[in-house]
Structure 1
Amino acid sequence: MVDRLERLVNLVIALRETRRPLTVDQINQRVAGYQGERDSAWRRMFERDKADLRALGIPLETEKLDRFDETLGYRIDPKDYDLSPIALDPTELTALALSVQLTGLADEAAPALDKLAVDANLVGEQRVQQRVPLELGMDAPNRAVLTDALLAKQRVRFAYRSVAQTATAATATTRLVEPHALLHWRGRWYLRGVDVDKAAERTFRLDRIDGEVRPTGDPGVVDVPDVPPDPAEVVPGATGEPIDAVVDADEATAWQVARRSSGAGVPAPDRDGAGVPAPDGGGAGSWRRFTIRTWDPDELIGWLLTLGPGVRLVGPDPVRNRLVEHLDQILAEPVPVAEHPSGAPS
């Protein structure tokens, strides 16, 4: 059974989306909540629903089907019903983002704020193209092999780079691991298990594994815990001390940074103490400085890179150095060349 509110919503959607007026028969056949025998009770219900919609200010129109058909139908003209686009300038968007943050609903409101930015033409084609595509999906290399090893209770061997080895480009170390769980934490996959050579439990990031994971030994030899560990307790840095990162943002990007900041921000100074001019020639003071508290510097760096040239990471130095490492890796990767249908590079 469809309740009254759902029935009214279904009716509004049907009449808003139709190009030609819908007759009573068509409403009876197509709209959930109105199907059934068209007796006097049905007719009274429909008349009451029409009156309620009009009382709510919804422009429900009665029109002829066309100039050759005198039959009447019902329709809601989108031009009369839809709200006009909301145009907020960057300062207003930043204030709104900070206000939402105070409610504790910043994550839930993020899609709506993004939509407002698009409506305000603050996320144009050029800015989108400049973003670095570092969004991490739900999949990761070797996850299928590790899942099979977990199910088979079998050891695995792989080459792994720790944080220090990654930073210094040192040779990866071969690890023999008894897998206990695959964990997903803040956009990354981790393997939790026993490092056999060190006889201790360790957590390994899947994106730091070099090459392929190879199952080794007999199945059924690994004692897999019944309850997987909490990622917040075993992922490195998840329970560490928070880091306060200082980020400068231009006028068009400030609202996005403000969503995660611990304050309203201040005008960003340059070396002489004056406001930082915008890259497009804007006046001093168009950039603002924010402080963002994070427990995961890599996640913060990945997010900042998606914002493109509209942000600058000021500090602290260890986080800046990690950002430089990320950028060096991106610049070192070859850029694919698209081919023209004729076969020539475009």
Structure 2
Amino acid sequence: MRLLSGYFIALLLSAGSITAAAQDHIYSQFFNAPLYLNPSLTGQFEGDIRMNMIYRNQWTALSGNLSYINASVDLNVPRFAGGVGLQFNRSSEGTAFLVKNNMAASYSYSVGSDDFVLSFGVQAGFTNRQINWGKLVFSDQIDSQLGYNPGTISNAQLPSQSNKFYFDPAAGINLVYRNFMAGIAGHHLNEPDESFSGAQAKLPMRITGNASYRLALTRSYVYGQDEGSFLIPSVVYYKQGGSSSMSAGMQYKYKGLNAGLWYRTAGEGGPDAIVVSVIFDIFSDRRNGEKLRLGLSHDATTSKLNYTNTNGTTEASVGYEKYFPNSENYNKFNGLRCYDFY
């Protein structure tokens, strides 16, 4: 019965994503998917090149697949007064394998001084949305006593289209002022039509706002240096159509170790999850700023779905950044790039 219950929950999730206004997935380790969070964060790091990848496996106890991946690479290019980047997103949801593949390029332009950096970013990409209609189960395939019979064929009329392509732009702005950072971004600015059936089904614009403060716990701390220990309270707010979500929490950072605790709401402020995260920064060569980042987090579901039914959600991430040989950019940003907050 538990397996059957999980199957139908996953089926409902899949069917709901077809008929209702779609919602984007979010990452608990939002700081390890910077281009997904806000295009103005492109090139905002201490180095010349940065690569990130994050994988999210949501509600692992359900039989329907809910998995997401983001991979990005961006460059800090002073001659462009900002950065350029490229990212790939893939999501697979539900028993019908509703899949989205997105490829997007981004550019950011920055102005600033010794105390602040203000960045503006734009992003443009294309998304392909596809579904396997053969994986759906309809009422005429379910026996009142025996349940689902995989050998039956449904008489339901299915849409002739199973693939959809659309243009997908985004824009954002981010400010770093000494130990404070705040940003806002808008995704799906054109609210593209995702419908397979011909009836209009617009993807609502997603608005993301984020704010963080870096509080030094070391008395001898000197502004602009990344040594010592810090507390970093942060909040991230998402709004898309009639749905909203907010993550609030705090991280403790000491050199290459970062541990965080978060509380996330969903819907009208109801509970969604408690998140625990741990990040390791491995410095293999301080002279050229080379750094390997490994991250792991787990969401303990606190909504009505509860943790027993879902087994929560797990994310794993990896990041890499460095300066090119003989780079002129080394340490010129004085710790004002967003990556130094996390």
TM-score by length of 2: 0.21
TM-score by length of 1: 0.21
Q: Which has the higher contact order (CA 8 A, sep 6+)?
A: 2
Structure with greater helix percent: 1
Structure with greater strand percent: 2
